[in-house]
Structure 1
């Protein structure tokens, strides 16, 4: 049995620190084992890809459960492992571009300990619902066309301005215009698919839902997804939601959710500062209530504006209905046993009031997008 095999056997499936120390000591004493240790890490990653995980998912979980040096270790490992493939699945290039693959250096014992802690996490990753093919596998759906449509570039620019401005009225106007463009973009794509008899099927993506206040953030994502004829399913244990929908709609869900979270967090920080100046100290309950109100109010407003925009194109109603059915069917196949989570109610009146007001500022004024949450 090699040094690496003995170290992994000692450390991977035992919780005690002594077992981890034993494995790390074996590795630290044998520099010749380094290459095999790296190969075993790549094997753990390949197994993770086969179980439905993607690079961003793995990095997110490592960052949540371990330390920052583990994130650097796994990033470098992912970069090395994925270089072996001639072609990577859709969206992987963007995920890999965001990695910090500079690595991490320490004394041999500390380094070996960190690697074993990382491998222990990777070895225990369960199978999850795939949202795309693993490297080297046949695609589950067609890759998005190369390049970004001009409409999406305009939407991205408007939302960036809305996030950057310090004036609520300006942010409202910019976001409202972006919403209008999103609605038109979605309807145009649906009409084009109908005219060309496209065989496109619904796809899926995963979006991180990070602590703290992850319940409110998941509710906000659900509202944005439903507004764009998508369905979101939250996996609380692993800190992400899977969003199912057609590719053009998935793109705007990512854009809009990210922007609204930035806008909401900024508004919450400002409102909280005002509350502190008034002498209050209950920060946690204020933030929780703020974000719940923000998500709830946006859901109501998106639902209303969604119906208004869709009503302007009555000839597309059968097409949109068929796409809704296809999205629901795909989501049901992926998640046949979803459950409903009871949300803890907001307990801070001031937080709820400020969150509702922030949601009103983030949207209004113009027609909007897709269709909304239940």
Structure 2
């Protein structure tokens, strides 16, 4: 009779195949176990042991806890994401190598802080989810198959167990509880709640001005000290529906804040590269603007002419693409105004001589980081197919601009996993 590890391996191989009946037979054998008195416990332990090992193997390949949790929920469901959380907590408990502080912060934000021993992870999770044993084993095998199938992605920050000598030292995270960010969040909260587009635009523009000034201050401070840091990165969700429009919004917000963005559409996220204060700004703005865009889109739907004959999805996509481009123009204008205002009015030339080289050097470092992590990046063109949606999204009469510049995404190399 196969032991627990063999049973798990057989069930996993069957799930990866195309024979549904064979997969069910292997699941039945997993239910029965090896025939020993503690067969169920042994199978649970083997599943969790292999899942923990699979998770540990993802960290050097660029994945972070938030990434694995997000893609599990995207490709499977919330229950599967809950199992991943518990397994990550168990893996962290057994992690012998040094673990950076930001890693533990991610786990805490996900709620992956349980201290259950590995043998009790599966039983505790299934009991909490109210699953019977068959369903629990089915979900666990699906989760394991997903974790072991994930491709390498860009390593944005040194993972647990990797010293600074093995990877470029990335700049640390910006403070997320600063008074400036509190003011920005308050402005954006008002923008999200108002039903007047002009007021929302003014509030968002003011938030961008504050962000841009803060970014300039941070750049000047950092420019006076040679630390040898490389720009860091964050991944922002661009899930369906309208993933392309969300990726375009990420790119527009990133460009306005001196960052670079690359869309990995099959994995459901955009990677944004930049300096700490700028990355925080992009994350905060994107989150808020997505809320504003969705609310504006729903209002626009209600105002559409009856019997227009257009499919809602096509109209929505056109609206959101137009919104992204329009908001990008306004944000870039606010950034340019803040940069111009940051130079000394009494000596504009000297002020520019001090600030602009610092910004140029930081921009060059971000682009170099982009080329290093995404050497095969290509540009993908998004088409706007509904003039009414475009006009509504931009609040302008420029219906001729129906083909817009799109988002970059990694080039696919035949015979190799996509490099992201």
* TM-score, length basis structure 1: 0.88
Report what 1:352 is aligned to. Answer: 390
Count of equivalent residues: 359
1:196 equivalent in alignment to 2:228? no
Query: Do the aligned partners of residues 165 and 98 (structure 1) sit closer, same or farther apart at CA in structure 2, a change above 3 Å counting?
Result: farther
Report what 2:206 is aligned to. Answer: 177
Deviates more, 1:248-257 or 1:141-150: 141-150
Query: Do the aligned partners of residues 8 and 22 (structure 1) sit closer, same or farther apart at CA in structure 2, a change above 3 Å counting?
Result: farther
Deviation at 1:355?
Answer: 0.7
Match 2:144 to one of 83, 107, 119: 119
1:104 equivalent in alignment to 2:133? no
**8 Å CA contact retained: 1:89, 1:135:** no
Written as runs of structure 1 = structure 2, the 5 A alignment for 1:121-160 is 121-139=146-164, 140-144=169-173, 148-160=177-189
Deviation at 1:278?
Answer: 6.7
- Work out the CA distance in 1 between the residues paired with 2:237 and 2:101: 19
1:24 equivalent in alignment to 2:27? yes
- Work out the CA distance in 2 between the residues paired with 1:91 and 1:180: 31
* TM-score, length basis structure 2: 0.79
Report what 2:361 is aligned to. Answer: 322
Deviates more, 1:236-245 or 1:72-81: 72-81
- Work out the CA distance in 2 between the residues paired with 1:234 and 1:46: 25
Higher-Rg member (1/2):
2
**Structure 1, gaps ≥5 residues long:** 359-372
Written as runs of structure 1 = structure 2, the 5 A alignment for 1:16-95 is 16-29=19-32, 30-33=39-42, 34-85=44-95, 87-88=99-100, 90=102, 93-94=105-106
- Partner deviation per Cα, 1:10-55 (whole Å, 9 max, x = no partner): 4234232233223322322231221232121111111111211112
Deviation at 1:255?
Answer: 0.6
- Work out the CA distance in 1 between the residues paired with 2:289 and 2:3: 52
Report what 2:290 is aligned to. Answer: 261
Report what 1:11 is aligned to. Answer: 12
Deviates more, 1:108-117 or 1:88-97: 88-97
Deviation at 1:92?
Answer: 5.1
Report what 1:367 is aligned to. Answer: none
Report what 1:332 is aligned to. Answer: 371
**8 Å CA contact retained: 1:183, 1:309:** yes
- Work out the CA distance in 1 between the residues paired with 2:103 and 2:258: 21
Query: Do the aligned partners of residues 236 and 259 (structure 1) sit closer, same or farther apart at CA in structure 2, a change above 3 Å counting?
Result: same
Deviates more, 1:96-105 or 1:329-338: 96-105
**Structure 2, gaps ≥5 residues long:** 33-38, 115-124, 344-351, 397-406, 409-420
**8 Å CA contact retained: 1:55, 1:92:** no
> Which secondary structure does the structure 1 equivalent of 2:89 belong to?
helix
**8 Å CA contact retained: 2:85, 2:110:** no
**8 Å CA contact retained: 2:171, 2:231:** no
Query: Do the aligned partners of residues 164 and 83 (structure 1) sit closer, same or farther apart at CA in structure 2, a change above 3 Å counting?
Result: farther
Match 1:220 to one of 229, 249, 268: 249
> Which secondary structure does the structure 1 equivalent of 2:262 belong to?
strand
> Which secondary structure does the structure 1 equivalent of 2:271 belong to?
strand
**8 Å CA contact retained: 1:268, 1:287:** yes
Written as runs of structure 1 = structure 2, the 5 A alignment for 1:264-303 is 264-275=293-304, 282-303=311-332
Report what 2:340 is aligned to. Answer: 311
- Work out the CA distance in 2 between the residues paired with 1:178 and 1:95: 29
